Copies of this chain bind each other. A is one copy, B any other.
């Protein structure tokens, strides 16, 4: 009798311990980090690194779609969404597309190379002008939209266990001319960057770039 009661007490205590500790480290904290200054998103941002060597394993279509959804969720001035994406997986075409590109070795080992493009001619809605015709406003921030768009893609890749590296195209015409030609881009569309993505072959680690001296309070 007493033994059984003791056994009950032990099991009950264990159950409560599990609820308090085990689950305490789980979903609830992930939704609302207890520390308030760390969570999985921040861990992904801090662990993202450039990966330049990949295994032969392909990227599941659902993974690529998720990364492109993340890319298209980026902030965009006046909601212009100037981005387009060319997803390359046919390595036999890389030599021509990335003619004279010093990143060829990286591209050739990647399961996919995504060329981020921008239609630079999409403008903001004209501003009403009481004194006459509406004022047309060119899009001055397509490059900033593409930067945020590319970073979203890289972070989504990191969060899925994929590796990636951002290689600049624009403003280096000597690098992007062959992309524009071989990918058949419309005259108004510029290749912004080429991102190689795949399963990491090695164990690259992120750089520590934290420099508190870059932070200025109220003024420089």
Q: Which residues of A contact B (CB under 8 A)?
A: 1, 4-5, 7-8, 11-12, 14-15, 18-19, 22-23, 25-33, 36-42, 44-46, 48, 50, 60, 62-63, 65-66, 68-70, 72-77, 79, 81, 83-90, 93, 140-141, 143-148, 150-152, 154-156, 158-161, 166, 168, 171-172, 182-186, 189, 193, 206-207, 209-211, 214-220
In the complex, are the beta carbons of A85 and B26 less than 8 A apart?
Answer: no
Enumerate chain B residues within 8 angstroms of A29, measured Cβ to Cβ.
27
Contact A144 B193 (CB under 8 A): yes
How far does the Cβ of A141 sit from chain B's closest Cβ, in whole Å?
Answer: 5
- Chain B residues within 8 Å of A22, by CB: 18-19, 22-23, 26
Q: How far is the CB of A52 from chain B (nearest CB, A)?
A: 13
Q: Which residues of B contact A75 (CB under 8 A)?
A: 48, 50, 151, 154, 166
Number of copies: 2
Q: Given the complex of chains A and B, what is the CA–CA distance between A166 and B206 in angstroms?
A: 26
Query: How many angstroms between the C-alpha atoms of A206 and B79 in the bound complex?
Result: 12
Docked Cα-Cα span, A29 to B30, in Å, equals 10
Q: A76 to chain B: which residues have CB within 8 Å?
A: 209
Known contacts A22-B26, A46-B70, A183-B219; A63/B36 CB under 8 A:
yes
Q: Known contacts A37-B160, A143-B143; can you find 15 more A-B pairs with CB under 8 A?
A: A7-B8, A15-B15, A37-B62, A41-B44, A42-B160, A45-B152, A45-B156, A72-B214, A81-B214, A88-B218, A140-B172, A141-B168, A148-B151, A183-B216, A184-B220
Assess A155 versus B154: contact at CB under 8 Å? Given A42-B70, A81-B211, A218-B93. Answer: no
Task: Find out whether the CB atom of A30 lies under 8 angstroms from the CB atom of B32.
Answer: no
Determine the residue in chain B with the shortest Cβ distance to A206: B73
> Known: A22-B19, A168-B144. Contact between A89 and B8, CB under 8 A?
no
